[in-house]
């Protein structure tokens, strides 16, 4: 029995010259035994199983030779062409693969296994029109193939059709992050949204309580710079579904533009409290909130109230980092450090945030934290001299001057064409020797530091 491929989800980066990858399960083998071959000669059987053996050890050319011998003996069995197609596919001889798969499909047009193989061939050739025609047949087996179909329509610039497919899929199976991102990317490509607007207006009329149709229409109007209409639809949705949280993702912007500040703040809070709101839109709301508070500092308390809702999870790390940047600009060091520390937990590879956090820890005399953090950071960024400098300063203040001298001396090897930093290293080595009570060495390094400062 054929074991069909599991459902394939295509990951696409929708950019000019984008890379396309296909994530899929390893192709299962067809279980063929002697009884499946039908009434064939011993020589036919011998060649056929030789073909399977050669294919199993990736000798695809030899497998094809053996199959050709089978065809010379009896050209009727369709499984010969299926096997030929698979071997040509492995050899990337796609045209030959298509010829052989098509021979089987002419007789068995609804063979799902062969349709999936043919789809793979067309996709690898970037023949998206032909791939779409195959997927259209596969949809009857599994509705989730509509995701591939929408992607293929997108690649063919058939944006309206792609959007209809995605919306139908969401109606039938519900939304998830992938489908909503796919929908957004398709919508951004639509240059004339009139037909989609008309379609959504009709869907709202038919089902006035379906929230997603309103949200989609708001987005389309906004994309088309029809802000007044988008605002009107948002208010209609709020009227129909007063408990909706996602509508506030649009409303807060309209309220800000309308100078309804208190309503805007209220909408921001509601939107950010929604468990349905994903990380990226939440991040955007916070950025807008920070921009607003920057211009209106009296609302900083509202910002802090909103932030209390956020747990220290990886999806919120970017949000905490942005809030840290905000307080850092305001020179509110304690608050900035608190948010950087919350944001860095799942963002340790962000060097700029790491550096800001460690420097603030030094500035606020959190020497133990600065020591531990810089030690870990050096493992990630072993050629960044600032990390050695921070580590050394921490050790000096924790009464470990010998260790400080060692780490500072090591860090100096990474200072290149930076007189000020080199001077700082000499200065801190001098401080370490002072801590040891070695005034002669301390003076020597302090003088080197002074000389470099004078040069710069």
Q: Mind listing the domains of the chain with CATH numbers?
A: 192-240 (no CATH), 245-347 (1.25.40), 367-456 (1.25.40.10)
Task: Tell me how far apart the alpha carbons of residues 9 and 94 are, in angstroms, rounded to a whole number.
Answer: 22
What is the structure's pLDDT at 8?
Answer: 32
Instruction: List b or e across 349-388, with b for residues whose CB sees 16 or more CB atoms inside 10 angstroms.
Output: ebeebbbbbbbbbbeeebbebbbebbeebbeeeeebbbbb
What is the structure's pLDDT at 11?
Answer: 33
Residue 396 pairs in a beta bridge with none
What is the structure's pLDDT at 339?
Answer: 92
Nearest to 287 by CA among 311, 253, 261: 253
Helix axes 78-90, 42-56, angle to 10 degrees: 20
Contact 356, 386 (CB under 8 A): no
What is the structure's pLDDT at 60?
Answer: 94
Contact 52, 32 (CB under 8 A): yes
pLDDT tens digits, one per residue of 197-238: 898 988 899 888 888 889 889 988 888 889 999 999 999 999
| Global model pTM greater than 0.85 | no
Q: What is the longest distance spanned by two Cα atoms in the chain?
A: 100
Task: Tell me how far apart the alpha carbons of residues 390 and 376 are, in angstroms, rounded to a whole number.
Answer: 12
What is the structure's pLDDT at 263?
Answer: 92
Contact 7, 144 (CB under 8 A): yes
* Contact residues for 196 (Cβ-Cβ < 8 A; gap 6+): 160, 163, 187, 190, 220
Enumerate the H helices of 207-316 as residue ranges. Answer: 211-223, 227-240, 248-257, 261-273, 279-295, 300-307
Q: Which residues of the chain have pLDDT under 50?
A: 1-30, 34
As a dihedral over the C-alpha atoms of residue 122, residue 127, residue 132, residue 135, rounded to 10 degrees, the angle is 10
What is the structure's pLDDT at 340?
Answer: 94
Task: Tell me how far apart the alpha carbons of residues 51 and 437 are, in angstroms, rounded to a whole number.
Answer: 83
C-alpha atoms less than 13 angstroms from C-alpha of 58 in its C-beta half-sphere:
1
């Amino acid at each position: 029995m054929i074991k069909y491929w599991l459902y394939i989800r295509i990951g696409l980066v929708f950019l000019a010259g984008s890379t396309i990858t296909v994530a899929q399960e390893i192709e299962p083998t067809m279980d063929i035994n002697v009884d499946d071959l039908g009434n064939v000669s011993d020589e036919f059987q011998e060649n056929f199983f030789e073909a399977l053996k050669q294919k199993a050890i990736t000798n695809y050319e030899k497998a094809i030779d053996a199959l050709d011998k089978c065809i010379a003996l009896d050209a009727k069995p369709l499984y010969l062409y299926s096997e030929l197609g698979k071997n040509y596919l492995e050899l990337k001889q796609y045209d030959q693969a298509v010829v052989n798969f098509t021979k089987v499909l002419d007789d068995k047009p609804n063979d799902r296994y062969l349709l999936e193989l043919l789809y793979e061939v067309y996709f690898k050739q970037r023949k998206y029109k032909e791939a779409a025609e195959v997927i259209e047949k596969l949809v009857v087996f599994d509705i989730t193939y509509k995701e591939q179909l929408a992607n293929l329509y997108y690649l063919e610039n058939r944006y309206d059709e792609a959007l209809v497919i995605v919306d139908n899929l969401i109606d039938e199976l519900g939304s998830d992050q992938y489908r909503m991102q796919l929908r957004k990317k398709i919508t951004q490509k639509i240059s004339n949204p009139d037909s989609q607007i008309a379609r959504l207006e009709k869907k709202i009329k038919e089902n006035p309580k379906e929230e997603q149709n309103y949200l989609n229409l708001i987005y389309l109007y906004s994309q088309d710079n029809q802000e007044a209409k988008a605002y009107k639809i948002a208010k209609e949705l709020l009227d129909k579904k007063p408990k909706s949280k996602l509508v506030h993702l649009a409303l807060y912007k309209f309220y800000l533009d309308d100078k309804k500040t208190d309503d805007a703040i209220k909408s921001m809070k509601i939107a950010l409290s929604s468990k349905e709101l994903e990380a990226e839109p939440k991040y955007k709301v916070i950025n807008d909130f920070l921009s607003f508070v920057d211009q209106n500092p009296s609302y900083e308390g509202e910002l802090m109230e909103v932030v209390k809702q956020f747990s220290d999870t990886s999806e919120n790390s970017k949000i905490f980092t942005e809030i840290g940047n905000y307080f850092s600009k305001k020179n509110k060091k304690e608050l900035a450090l608190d948010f950087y520390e919350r944001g860095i937990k799942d963002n340790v590879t962000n060097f700029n945030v790491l550096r800001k956090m460690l420097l603030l820890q030094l500035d606020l005399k959190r020497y133990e934290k600065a020591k531990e953090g810089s030690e870990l950071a050096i493992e990630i960024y072993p050629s960044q001299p600032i990390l050695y400098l921070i580590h050394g300063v921490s050790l000096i203040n924790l009464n470990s001057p010998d260790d400080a001298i060692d780490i500072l001396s090591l860090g100096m090897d990474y200072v290149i064409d930076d007189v000020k930093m080199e001077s700082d290293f000499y200065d801190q080595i001098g401080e370490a020797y002072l801590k040891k009570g070695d005034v002669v060495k301390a003076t020597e390094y302090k003088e080197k530091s002074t000389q470099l400062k004078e040069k710069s």
